Amino acid sequence: MPFFAVILVVAFVYILGSIRIIQEYERGVVYTLGRYTSNRGPGFRLVFLFVQRVLLVDMRIRTEDIPPQDVISKDNVSVKVNAIVFYRVVDPGHAVNKVEDFSMATSQLAQTTMRSVLGKHDLDEMLAQREELNEAVQEILDQQTEGWGIKITNVEIKNVDIDPTMVRAIAKQAEAERSRRAKIINAEGELQAAKQLDEAAAILAKRPETMQLRYLGTMSDFTNAKGNTIVLPLPMDLLGALNKIAAPAKK
């Protein structure tokens, strides 16, 4: 075989071995003689053997499940909180060169950030303000991972587990709060009823005939009652008339 043909065969094999197919969701981080030189997009790419090396980085959104973390709330309540973090690589060169394992680093950073942020809030806020806490954790994570070429797209707190003894204490507190509200509502009802009675008494005092009609209505109610004993109230104006009659006799 002529020497020229050998050269062609070797060149063909070399070029064939240098072909790389990069998927649409991937980016290639290329090193030339050990030095980072460029990022390669999807499609048919040449990466020269023995001279260049390519690392493929998945650009799709990733999910990182944060295991349950022991958190002490601001009001000294111990809880276990777990969450899930959604993130993606926006700069593959930084993600590979700035941090050894960006997936592990993001997970560890999310754990420490979540403990730090939640520890500044009361238990009631953890249970009632999850959206605000999610946004706070996401903002801090996004700022710290920006230099790694990582974008935090979302953080979701899944569960806030409370110790059973604390659950009973919270139930007692809720029961006491419901009892307090019931007493307040009852007191407000009695106050309104007292105001209504006071207004009714003022009206009846101005119109004695209205009082007589009320008296007759009350007698009718007693007459229709099923009991054997009927007690009739004595009208106040009758007492006044008797006092007027008895006054001359006393003199």
Question: In angstroms, rounded to a whole number, what is the distance separating the alpha carbons of residues 110 and 36?
Answer: 28
Which of 150, 153, 109, 106 has its CA nearest to residue 134? 153
In this prediction the pTM is 0.65
Three-state SS string over the chain comes to: CCHHHHHHHHHHHHHHHCEEEECCCEEEEEEECCEEEEEECCEEEECCCCCEEEEEEECCCEEEEEEEEEEECCCCCEEEEEEEEEEEECCHHHHHHCCCCHHHHHHHHHHHHHHHHHCCCCHHHHHHCHHHHHHHHHHHHHHHHHHHCEEEEEEEEEEEEECHHHHHHHHHHHHHHHHHHHHHHHHHHHHHHHHHHHHHHHHHHHCHHHHHHHHHHHHHHHHCCCCCCCCCCCCHHHHHHHHHHHHHHHC
Of 25, 158, 147, nearest in space to 86 by CA:
158
User: What backbone torsions phi and psi does residue 123 show, to the nearest 5 degrees?
Assistant: -60, -40
pLDDT confidence of residue 146:
92
Predicted confidence (pLDDT) per residue in 96-149, tens digit: 999 999 999 999 999 999 999 998 988 888 888 889 999 999 999 999 999 999
C-alpha closest to that of 91 among 27, 35, 139 = 27
Q: CA-to-CA distance for 211 and 217, rounded, in angstroms?
A: 10
Residue type, 80: K
* Whole-number pLDDT of residue 169: 67
Encoded amino acid at 76, one letter? N
Other Cβ atoms within 10 Å of 96 Cβ, number: 20
**pLDDT for the residue numbered 13:** 85
Q: Low-confidence residues of the chain, pLDDT below 50?
A: none
Quick one: which of 83, 86, 63, 84 has its CA closest to 126?
Answer: 83
| Contact status, residue 16 vs residue 48, Cβ threshold 8 Å | no
pLDDT of residue 76: 83
Give the pLDDT confidence score for residue 235 in this predicted structure.
56
